Amino acid sequence: MTNRLLQQKQKAVLMLTLLLIVFVTVSGFMWNHGFQTKKIETHQVEVPVSVQYERVDTLPKGTEEVLQEGTPGLDEVQEEVHYNHGEVVDTKELQRTTITPMKPKIIRAGTRDIEVSRSYNRVKEVITMEATAYLPTDGGGDGITATGIPARHGVVAVDPNVIPLGTRVYIPGYGEAIAADTGGDIVGNRIDVVLEDYGSAMQFGRRTVDVYILSS
């Protein structure tokens, strides 16, 4: 009788232990997975501008010309988003649709070796300078340079202490020119080149150039 009661107690303890194990396992699973949710979400994302280079032999080496200014694009993205206790734990892109195509920025990069006109015997000197563009109507507005000649393409403004007036020069990306003008801001290694329309002047902008001092 005593042995039978003992066996029944052992069976009861074993059953309780197994039930406790099952309870803990199920509770843990529910805690880990019961609060996980999955949603399909759609939102818009900006596509950043990429830069494309076109290498051309119509421009000297080191010269760049912006052919097209880029604009960002816009995509609509559908994602499967997984949450755990309200926090994002994983995302999976399901579909992407272009709303506005991205336009890349296209830059022409010169590959041609710089060749100074053969009508000159030699290059006397090369000076690295900061170059900017100006219009014939800038400054006084009458279009006449400091030396009295009209401001036009092929005329540059210089500091006479660096490049004497009347000097012939060659500027990559601009061409041959004569130093015929001055300016209050043109001091030291600064040079201004005349361009005859606003768009060309803006495209030239401000850049560092090698100025070739030519002998006639």
**pLDDT tens digits, 49-95:** 998 888 876 666 666 778 888 999 999 999 999 888 778 888 888 89
Mind listing the pLDDT tens digit for each residue in 102-159? 999 998 877 766 555 544 456 788 899 999 988 888 766 677 888 888 888 889 999 9
Q: What is the spatial order of strands in the sheet that 87-100 belongs to?
A: 36-47, 73-84, 87-100
- The domain 116-214 having CATH identifier 2.40.170.20: the answer here is no
Give the pair of three-digit tokens for residue 97. Answer: 């649709």
Q: Residue 12 class from Cβ within 10 Å (0-12 exposed, 13-18 middle, 19+ buried)?
A: exposed
21: CB partners within 8 A, 6+ apart: none
Instruction: Please indicate, yes or no, whether the overall pTM of this predicted structure exceeds 0.75.
Output: no
Q: Residue 59 class from Cβ within 10 Å (0-12 exposed, 13-18 middle, 19+ buried)?
A: middle
174: CB partners within 8 A, 6+ apart: 131, 193, 204, 209
* Class of the CATH domain delimited by 36-109: mainly beta
Same fold, 36-109 and 116-214: no
Domain positions in the chain are: 36-109, 116-214
